[in-house]
Amino acid sequence: MARYTGPKLKLSRRVGVPIVDTPKHTSKRQLQSNGMHGFRGRRLRDYGIRLNEKQKVKYHYCVQEAQFRRILEQAGGKPGNTGDLLMQLLERRLDNAVRRAGFARTIWAARQLVVHGHIRVNGKKLNRPSYEVKVGDVISIREKTQKLAKEAMESLAGLEVAGWLEVNPSELTVKVVALPTTDQIPFDVNANLIVEFYR
């Protein structure tokens, strides 16, 4: 299936929670369904609850089903809690690190910066949003794009940078200082339900 290119607010409405931290997505009025009486919804069964949790994470990180399954298999092959490892692998994606650093307002904007070749990792150009950043990696922005990144950082003035990243705003660089932990993910999700969905 091709990547979803329609209105992003529909995705937030579909799962019932904001998938992006922008006012458009976080306002209660926008998350309510349209119509004269609104959509009261129906009670989800176990399958529906697990599916909803999976969709929330897929939309939040902007990954397709095949990619998501691959990341889950990768997490399942490592020792430890599969749900926590899944979230850690998703959090370590390059497009997500750019978003968490505040260089872009949304995951879609961060993804575009990466795909268009504006991001450097350890001085090398990388255009793969799925690249897995490692501890010690330094992410920087191409000179021509630095104005755009500064504007994004100014618009996200109150943004709290993730604890596993160290941002240098003057040079517009980010250093990965640690691996992300589940409590550093600013998104309410039960990863164990996702693992159960695939079993």
**Assigned token pair, 138:** 């330094």
Q: What is the third-level CATH fold of 94-179?
A: 3.10.290
Query: Euclidean distance between the first and final Cα of the chain, in Å?
Result: 22
pLDDT band at 6 (very low <50, low <70, confident <90, very high): confident
* 3-class secondary structure per residue, the chain: CCCCCCCHHHHHHHHCCCCCCCHHHHCHHHHCCCCCCCCCCCCCCHHHHHHHHHHHHHHHHCCCHHHHHHHHHHHHCCCCCHHHHHHHHHHCEHHHHHHHHCCCCCHHHHHHHHHCCCEEECCEECCCCCCECCCCCEEEECHHHHHHHHHHHHHCCCCCCCCCEEEECCCCEEEECCCCCHHHCCCCCCHHHHHHHCC
Higher pLDDT pick, 51 / 187: 51
CA–CA gap between residue 23 and residue 73 (Å, rounded):
35
CA–CA gap between residue 60 and residue 111 (Å, rounded):
12
pLDDT, average across residues 67-73: 93
pLDDT, average across residues 156-181: 85
For residue 142, give every residue at least 6 positions away whose Cβ sits within 8 Å of its Cβ, in sequence order, or none. 117, 118, 119, 120, 125
- 184, pLDDT greater than 70: yes
Least confident of 40-49, 78-87, 91-100, 111-120: 40-49
Beta strands 119-121 and 173-176 are unpaired
Predicted TM-score (pTM) of this structure: 0.85
- Beta-carbon neighbour count of residue 130 at 10 Å? 15
pLDDT at 3: 77
For the chain, domain boundaries:
8-90+188-197, 94-179
In degrees, rounded to 5, the angle at the alpha carbon of residue 22 between the alpha carbons of residues 96 and 156 is: 70
pLDDT at 23: 64
pLDDT at 5: 81
> What is the CA 119 to chain-centroid distance, rounded?
17
- Beta-carbon neighbour count of residue 58 at 10 Å? 20
pLDDT band at 158 (very low <50, low <70, confident <90, very high): low
pLDDT at 163: 85
Least confident of 25-34, 107-116, 154-163, 183-192: 25-34
Where does 8-90+188-197 sit in CATH, by number?
1.10.1050.10
pLDDT, average across residues 133-152: 88
